[in-house]
Amino acid sequence: MNKINSLKKKKFHFLFLRLRGTFLVSFCLIFIYLSLPEELGAIDSIIGEDLFKKHCASCHINGGNIIRRSKNLKLSSLKRNGIDNPKDIAKIARQGLGIMSGYEDQLGDNGDQLVANWVWKQAQRAWVQE
Ligand code: HEC
């Protein structure tokens, strides 16, 4: 009788360990799944910043404009000129605007959006680096 009881206990213990393992694995997977978009967002931001440094910063250093000072990348200036979302900035990055030429060829696939998202984020925080 005792033997059967201890066998039952062992079986229960084994089942418990297996369940615990399953829970741990599921928990890790859920954790990775939930944190992934954030990680990807961070990567996008790094690429955006890099593109900006390569293709835009020469004229728009720190969100300014060394050629037409009033047409800078600060939020007030963008809004004054009717640019109020990253899509508008992406279009300008691609096609240019007035005397600024477009950078479609240099920015590559998606580059216009990545750089535009980064510019928009900087404009929101007044180009103050963290
Ligand atoms: C060679 C200099 C130069 C480079 C490089 C450059 N720009 Fe410009 N940008 C300008 C000039 C000049 C204007 C004003 C154009 C006009 O209105 O005639 C401008 C205007 C803009 C505007 C509109 C700003 C406003 O307040 O109206 C945005 C947005 C912009 N640029 C984004 C970018 C992005 C993004 C890049 C990089 C992909 C870039 N620019 C690269 C010179 C440059």
Q: What residue ranges define each of the domains in the chain, with the CATH number in brackets?
A: 38-124 (1.10.760.10)
Q: Find the 87 Cα to ligand 1 centroid distance in Å.
A: 14
Closest to 47 (Cα-Cα) out of 110, 89, 103? 110
Ligand 1 binding site (Cβ under 6 Å of any ligand atom): 55-56, 58-60, 65, 67-68, 71-73, 77-78, 81, 83, 89, 92-93, 97-100, 103, 115, 119
Q: What is the pLDDT of residues 107-116, one digit of tens each?
A: 999 999 999 9
Q: What is the pLDDT of residues 23-81, one digit of tens each?
A: 999 999 999 988 888 888 899 999 999 999 999 999 999 999 999 999 999 999 999 99
CB contact at 8 A, 115 and 93: yes
Q: Can you give the pTM of this predicted structure?
A: 0.82
Helices (H) and strands (E) in the chain, counts: 6, 2
Q: Name residues whose C-beta falls within 8 Å of residue 55's C-beta, 6 or more positions apart in sequence.
A: 93, 103, 106, 107, 115
